Structure 1
């Protein structure tokens, strides 16, 4: 498992460095970066979400799937409110990033490989179910945190977001065991697989605009890392212990919440005018530190 975690961290870091290089050489410009963000949000991410629901299931798995789905809703609702308290004293632009980092983990690229290393394919199955509310909250509450708007117009735009639509379609395909034709599924899968490297390249391009010494400067990024990597997973463990959760479902949930900051936090910061430097630094620092903290969290569960 440790090798799995270390390998994922190294891969993430190297792909980010590609983005740094491309931005430094002006291969990626400011306008290009925004276009890439739109490509990710409107095409590659929805394709990834739809293709991730290609599972067969048994009846007893459905019961557990329903349970971990409810756990995910509960945990994310608690984190949404807790993050407001934990971030209230900071400037608005930084507060938005800090809240997003606290609530949302990088549960896809790093989460699935670690779950498979620990629990096998069943870990990926439950992880995918746990991530349904995650995706819905990230594209609704996450967007609202950055925009600061809670009106019906904003909610409507969130509900028709390509990512939300893709999540609903994928879930329906899973429930009714609808299998897409091989060429169509492969197209979705191949294009969707671009999401992680594209995300990391964009983050690297953002980091390239921050002076290297600034990446490790200040206490706020370390506070964000502490919340994301230690407070959130152990709070999740405490909540599920109180609920007397099934051991496997508890372990899967805690491992997902032990992942570093969600890459999309940087994309959202770019898109909605928040502190992009803090967002990209948080992704980078939490990813590196997670090589130490994930094994610590796993040891406790």
Structure 2
């Protein structure tokens, strides 16, 4: 029941975010595609998995897989087409057979059928899962190290994109989901995932598609830095409304 809710809320969150992004970020600049993709897609895997696991445990991580499924499908379809500036529906097929989506499907099957791995492989996989947090910090640090942080922090446009990514879009998505009166833990999980900073995939796309990787990297760095403040604020805000109204 909760998993079905998480799929529904994830769909609503992405729908609201994508629609609002085309309204809020429409200034015709060479970086328009980079700004839009960075505003829509968050670092909901590396950063959010250990975060949600620390707050809500394995149940929260289960609900997060729905959001991750939408992320993996949309980033390789809508996100890729937005960065290219063209429609390439063959990307949808590639997205559906990507290792991350297959892993989610296998994991859900194991969960729903109550399949348990033997102790040795289960322990090995747990060790890999425990590496999420340090690996996330390494990736974030390596990307930020290649960016002139002081110069990026002086760019007013990046502050506007960060405002949209970290505050306006997550809050709008939260209220769109909240009116349906969903289970609180599912609502909080999806809200936190949407409020995470820009995804590193945006920088990878920019590099591979001859966009401006410098802008993508700066947005990633600035949103990651600012999320140290905005993510707790969004979590407190959503928690107060969810549990006290």
Give the TM interval when normalised to the shorter protein: 0.7 to 0.9
Matched, 1:104 2:44: no
Structure 1: runs of 5 or more not aligned: 1-62
The aligned runs of 1:274-289 (5 Å cut-off) are 274-289=211-226
- Please give the alpha-carbon distance, in whole angstroms, between the structure 2 residues aligned to 1:68 and 1:136: 16
Aligned position for 2:174:
237
Matched, 1:139 2:76: yes
8 Å contact 2:12–2:177 — kept in the other structure? Answer: no
Aligned position for 2:186:
249
- Please give the alpha-carbon distance, in whole angstroms, between the structure 1 residues aligned to 2:178 and 2:49: 23
Scaled by the length of structure 1, the TM-score of the pair is 0.67
8 Å contact 1:139–1:164 — kept in the other structure? Answer: no
8 Å contact 2:77–2:89 — kept in the other structure? Answer: no
The aligned runs of 1:284-295 (5 Å cut-off) are 284-295=221-232
CA deviation string 1:71-112 (max 9, x = no partner): 1012112222222222221324x1122112221111223223
Equivalent residues, number = 235
- Please give the alpha-carbon distance, in whole angstroms, between the structure 2 residues aligned to 1:224 and 1:201: 21
Aligned position for 1:65:
3
> Using a 3 Å threshold, how does the CA distance of structure 1 residues 299 and 158 change in structure 2: closer, same or farther?
closer
The aligned runs of 1:169-180 (5 Å cut-off) are 169-179=106-116
Q: 1:120 aligns with which of 51, 57, 77?
A: 57
8 Å contact 2:198–2:223 — kept in the other structure? Answer: yes
> Using a 3 Å threshold, how does the CA distance of structure 1 residues 248 and 191 change in structure 2: closer, same or farther?
closer
Structure 2: runs of 5 or more not aligned: 239-245
8 Å contact 2:49–2:61 — kept in the other structure? Answer: yes
Aligned position for 1:76:
14
Scaled by the length of structure 2, the TM-score of the pair is 0.81
Q: 2:140 aligns with which of 200, 205, 208?
A: 200
- Misfit runs of 4+, over 3 Å: 151-202, 210-213
- Please give the alpha-carbon distance, in whole angstroms, between the structure 2 residues aligned to 1:212 and 1:290: 15
- Please give the alpha-carbon distance, in whole angstroms, between the structure 2 residues aligned to 1:156 and 1:266: 23
- Please give the alpha-carbon distance, in whole angstroms, between the structure 2 residues aligned to 1:165 and 1:202: 28
8 Å contact 1:139–1:161 — kept in the other structure? Answer: no
CA deviation string 1:130-152 (max 9, x = no partner): 32222222222222222223234
- Please give the alpha-carbon distance, in whole angstroms, between the structure 2 residues aligned to 1:289 and 1:212: 12
8 Å contact 2:76–2:92 — kept in the other structure? Answer: no
Provide the secondary structure at the position in 1 that maps to 2:236: helix
Cα RMSD for the two superposed structures: 2.8
CA deviation string 1:114-170 (max 9, x = no partner): 323333332222223332222222222222222223234343444444444444444
